[in-house]
Amino acid sequence: MSEIEKLKRRSHQAGKEDKLRALEFMFYAHRAFLVDVDPILSELGFGRAHHRALFLVARWPGITVNQLLARLKITNQSFSRIVRDLLNAGLIVQSADSADRRQRCHFVTAKGEELEVVMDF
C-alpha cells in the first residue's frame, strides 16, 4: 500500500470517528433535554410531538400547516390532534394568511412563550 493510500485510509477513519463522536454528543444532549421536559409535558397531558410543534411555531412565527407537516414528518391526522390540543390549551393561535386565505398560519401566544421558556435551556 502506498503512502497516499495509507493517508487516505487514516483520514477516512479519523472522519468516521469524528462523526461517531458527534452523534454520541447529540444522543446525550437529546436525552438530557427530554429528561427535563417529559415531566412537564406529561403534567399537561402532552407528548413530545406537542413539544416539537410548539418549538417550531415559537421559532417560525406564521409557520403554515404544510411547513409544519414537512418539518414534523407526521400524518395530517396526528398533526390535527396536536394543533387542536395546543389551540385548546391557549398555547398557539391560528389565523388565515393575508396573502392566501386558504393557508393557516400559526403563532405562539404569551402563555405558549412562558411554557417555552420553562422547557428550553
Q: Which tens digit of pLDDT belongs to each residue from 64-94?
A: 999 999 998 888 888 899 999 999 999 999 9
Predicted TM-score (pTM) of this structure: 0.73
Exposed/middle/buried for residue 51 (C-beta within 10 Å: 0-12, 13-18, 19+): buried
pLDDT band at residue 21 under the 50/70/90 scheme: confident
Region 32-57 average pLDDT: 88
pLDDT above 90: percentage of residues in the chain: 42
List the one residue out of 63, 46, 35 whose CA is nearest residue 121: 35
Residue ranges of alpha helices (H) inside the chain are: 3-44, 48-59, 65-72, 76-88, 110-119
